[in-house]
Amino acid sequence: MQSIRSTGLAELGNLRGLIIDMDGVLWQGDTPMPGLHQFFDALRRRQIKFMLATNNNTQTPEGFAQKAEKMGVEVLPEQVITAAIATVHYLRSKYPPGSRIYVVGEAALKGLISEAGFTLADTSVSAVVATMDRQLNYEMLKLATLLIRAGAEYIGPNPDTAYPTPEGLVPGGGAILAAITAASDRQPLIIGKPEGWMFRIAMERMQLGVDETGSLGDRLETDILGGQRLGLKTILVLSGVSTAASLASSSIQPTWIFPGIEQLAQAF
């Protein structure tokens, strides 16, 4: 079993729950990471609860559960939290049903916001929600900018500027936020990791506390930093975005580091 940081490895056994990122950790695109089945077998054998938590808003929890099923892993939709889910929680906490929301985002995000009782609109809106949209065009950027400059709240579910695919790192929701931020001269309210919304929802669903829960991911600035802000133990895998080189130069240092989930499964 190869680990890059093994100090305190025995403490892994104290974890009763894991908040797990997906892209770059469990799979890249439609390709499962080595050790995927062994990893989930180890969690179930050790009776470690888990929640999958991602800034990726291109699918619903049901869609991610189906993706896992195609790879031979059983995950319930209730065990998946996306930044879109956290965004809906935030919108419900601030705006009444029927409030008008402009969304730069894909069908999964728009569907969740609509199902939550909000009206998708492009005029006289209370808020602009902007994230990954693979059909993005100039008119969408222009409209978002005009609405924000007119006073609409600016909300960004996903700050990730890039995400890992089998082709390499490609633009993510944060890249779209960067364009709107530059044009509107406004900073978005970030809902996704490293902010605490998804971490707190995940712990609530698992009915676990901070001392019993770990955050597992491939990004220092989201999965690891977000977990550390809440006092969680953190596990970095070097199979996605963050590399050994970026780790060496970063002030963000996880509790444990592994090449991937295959080695983490062996440690469990």
Active site residues: 21, 23
Which is nearest to 103 in space by CA: 80, 86, 89, 84? Answer: 84
Q: How far is CA 225 from the centre of its chain?
A: 13
| Cis amide leading into 194 (omega within 30) | yes
Q: Long-range pairs for 201-206 at CB < 8 Å and ≥24 separation?
A: 201/81, 201/85, 201/86, 201/89, 202/17, 202/19, 202/51, 202/53, 202/81, 203/17, 203/19, 205/51, 205/78, 205/79, 205/81, 206/17, 206/49, 206/50, 206/51
Residue 184 tokens read as 């509107």
Q: Do residues 145 and 183 lie in contact, with contact meaning Cβ atoms separated by under 8 Å?
A: yes
